[in-house]
Amino acid sequence: MTEENEHVSGATVWLTGLPSAGKTTIALELAARLRAEGHRVEVLDGDEIREFLSAGLGFTREDRHTNVQRIGFLAELLSRNGVVTLVPVIAPYADSRDAVRKRHEAGGTPYLEVHVATPVEVCSVRDVKGLYAKQAAGEISGLTGVDDPYEAPAAPDLRIESQDQTVAESAAAVHALLTERGLA
């Protein structure tokens, strides 16, 4: 870490978007770049959080809200302790994301919302976890952006059209935002 960066606080970067939008892939690329620069970084993967921190929660609106608030609490805790915390989590409801932002603001912790705005048609082709195929086959329901709501951010700090650029370009755009805000 350079002397210039020693006093830089942590920050939370919440990457929201549909399933298979590229959130985690971008977060992992960005994490590697930030670590190479000497930053303390954590990626709070939504699937891991559901397994270890939110086990037992389902996918009702209330359970999704609870999950997002738990992740938001953990992200703010890490960030206020000097960790750049990358959160590639769908968080489909605007009010849940707003509550997380307000928690960060109340603590004076930097928070950036990045909308990975990949169209559902592209996400369904990528179908990283096979969710779109399972939904189409009637095996699952409640898929965010298909038969369950996704409230896209009205005014994110950054919007990424991942289908129009490489993962490295997407990660570079988030890095540029962090740099612009004095956080990287």
Q: Does 102 count as an annotated binding residue?
A: no
Give 86's Cβ-side CA count (13 Å radius): 25
Q: Does 172 count as an annotated binding residue?
A: no
Helix (H) or strand (E) segment spanning residue 52: helix 46-52
Q: Does 20 count as an annotated binding residue?
A: yes
Q: Does 24 count as an annotated binding residue?
A: yes
Q: Does 156 count as an annotated binding residue?
A: no
Which letter, b or e, does each residue of 29-58 get, where b requires 16 or more Cβ atoms within 10 Å of its Cβ?
bbbebbeeeebebbbbbbeebbeeebeebe
The single residue listed with the structure tokens 């952006």 is 145
Q: Does 138 count as an annotated binding residue?
A: no
Q: Does 129 count as an annotated binding residue?
A: no
Q: Does 19 count as an annotated binding residue?
A: yes
How many Å apart are CA 132 and CA 138, to the nearest integer? 10
- Which residues are documented as binding site? 17-24
- Which residues are documented as binding site for ATP? 17-24
